[in-house]
Each structure stands twice: as structure tokens, then as C-alpha cells.
């Protein structure tokens, strides 16, 4: 972010905030199966301590994070900010929203961090560990159909019903595109 010379210097440069968000997004998505249920419980009960406990456990037992922001290092110090974020209605069960809100702490408020990060969407692919949750959140009807699918042909039929250009959805379709099933779009 270039400064025009007016106003005060930002507490955290946008470039550094976005780097923090990318690191945190990767770690959260890689550990999403360990922390997603706790995040939803924390949101519904308005008790962020549930989520903090799951994050600390994921740090100890799960995939470690490298070059992480302060929230990763000491999530318990940001319990109040996490609670405010969860109460705000901006979480939507999305690990990327969580990373966007927490990446700027403590220099920025969770809201300022979230607002800046949303203006600069993360373009990285979704971690494999978060695919199931992503499909459940973004394509709930297709997700239910995929769970019921019995064969590769059934999966191909379900996926081919959508003309979505969502990159994760297309990622699922790609390996099936050239499979010899002879399935046509409906």
C-alpha cells in the first residue's frame, strides 16, 4: 500500500496483512476437520473458548503452521476478538473468513482486518482437508447427492448437472471429464 503522505502510517501494511492471511488460511484449512465443529459450537453457544481449545489442540496434534501471525501463536489472547467476530454473523462456517478476521490482530481490529482482506480475496486453492466442508457450504444439494452416489458414474452425473465455474467445483469434475463412462449432461 503506497501512502500519499497524508494521514498517519498504518499499523500494519496491507501487504503484510495479506501474507498473514494466506499463512493462516493454509493452516486453518489444513486443520479444518479438527476445528470446524468447535468453531460452529463456539458460534452457536457464543463461547469462543470452545474454538480456542480446538485451535490449541490442532497446533499440538495437527499440521504445524510456519510463519504464522500472532493469532496462531497465542489464540487464547484473542478470545474476545474471536467472540466478537463469531457474534457478528460474518463467519458463515467459512475458514477463509476466520483467517481474514484474525490475521490482523493485534495491530488491527478483527473487523478492519476482515474488511481489508475481503477487498483482496485470497486466490489460493482450497486445502484438500477443507473440500468436504466447502462443498457442503457452497453446493449443499450437490453435496447431498454426492454422499448418496454409489459409483464413479453416479458422481460424474451429479457433478455434470451443474455448469458452475467455481474453481473447486471444476477441480472435482476434472478427473472425471475423460473417464470412459459415456455419461451425457442432462
Other C-beta atoms lying within 10 Å of the C-beta of residue 83: 19
Within-domain flag for 3 = no
Residues 70 and 95 in one domain: yes
Range(s) of the domain holding residue 115: 14-130
Residues 81 and 159 in one domain: no
Mean pLDDT of 11-23: 95
Residues 60 and 104 in one domain: yes
C-alpha distances (whole Å) from 185 to each of 67, 153, 157 are 45, 12, 7
Within-domain flag for 1 = no
C-alpha distances (whole Å) from 2 to each of 5, 6, 13 are 9, 11, 9
Residues 34 and 51 in one domain: yes
Residues 91 and 147 in one domain: no
- Band of residue 36 on the pLDDT scale cut at 50, 70, 90: very high
Mean pLDDT of 108-137: 90
- Band of residue 185 on the pLDDT scale cut at 50, 70, 90: very low
Within-domain flag for 5 = no
Of the two residues 17 and 170, the one the predictor is more confident about is 17
Residues 122 and 155 in one domain: no
Q: Evaluate if residue 132 carries a pLDDT over 50.
A: yes
Which pLDDT value is given to residue 128? 80
Residues 166 and 97 in one domain: no
Whole-angstrom Cα distance, residue 144 to residue 108?
A: 39
Mean pLDDT of 125-137: 84
Residues 53 and 74 in one domain: yes
Cell numbers for 37, please give them: 465443529
Residues 89 and 144 in one domain: no
**Structural domains counted in the chain:** 2
Residues 34 and 93 in one domain: yes
**What is the per-residue pLDDT across 79-122, written as a single tens digit (0 to 9) for each?**
999 999 999 999 999 999 999 999 999 999 999 999 999 999 99
Residues 74 and 105 in one domain: yes
- Band of residue 180 on the pLDDT scale cut at 50, 70, 90: low
**What is the per-residue pLDDT across 158-171, written as a single tens digit (0 to 9) for each?**
888 888 887 777 77
Q: Evaluate if residue 186 carries a pLDDT over 50.
A: no
DSSP code per residue over 40-57: HHHHHHT-HHHHHHHHHH
Within-domain flag for 185 = no
Of the two residues 82 and 176, the one the predictor is more confident about is 82
Q: Evaluate if residue 152 carries a pLDDT over 50.
A: yes
Please, are residues 135 and 142 in contact by the beta-carbon 8 Å criterion? yes
Mean pLDDT of 63-92: 92
Residues 40 and 125 in one domain: yes
* pTM value > 0.95: no
Whole-angstrom Cα distance, residue 96 to residue 122?
A: 8
Amino acid at each position: 500500500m503506497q501512502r500519499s503522505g497524508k494521514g498517519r502510517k498504518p499499523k500494519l501494511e496491507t501487504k503484510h496483512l495479506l501474507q498473514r492471511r494466506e499463512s493462516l488460511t493454509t493452516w486453518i484449512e489444513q486443520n479444518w476437520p479438527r476445528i470446524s465443529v468447535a468453531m460452529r459450537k463456539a458460534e452457536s453457544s457464543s463461547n469462543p473458548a470452545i474454538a480456542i481449545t480446538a485451535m490449541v489442540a490442532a497446533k499440538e496434534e495437527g499440521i504445524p503452521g510456519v510463519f504464522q501471525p500472532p493469532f496462531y501463536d497465542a489464540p487464547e489472547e484473542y478470545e474476545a476478538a474471536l467472540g466478537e467476530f463469531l457474534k457478528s454473523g460474518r463467519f458463515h462456517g467459512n475458514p477463509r473468513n476466520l483467517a481474514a478476521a484474525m490475521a490482523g490482530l493485534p495491530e488491527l481490529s478483527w473487523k478492519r482486518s476482515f474488511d481489508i482482506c475481503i477487498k483482496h480475496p485470497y486466490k489460493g486453492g482450497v486445502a484438500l482437508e477443507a473440500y468436504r466442508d466447502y462443498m457442503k457450504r457452497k453446493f449443499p444439494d450437490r453435496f447431498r447427492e454426492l454422499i448418496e452416489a454409489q459409483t464413479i458414474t453416479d458422481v460424474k452425473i451429479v457433478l455434470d448437472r451443474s455448469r458452475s465455474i467455481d474453481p473447486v467445483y471444476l477441480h472435482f469434475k476434472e478427473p472425471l471429464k475423460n473417464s470412459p463412462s459415456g455419461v451425457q449432461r442432462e
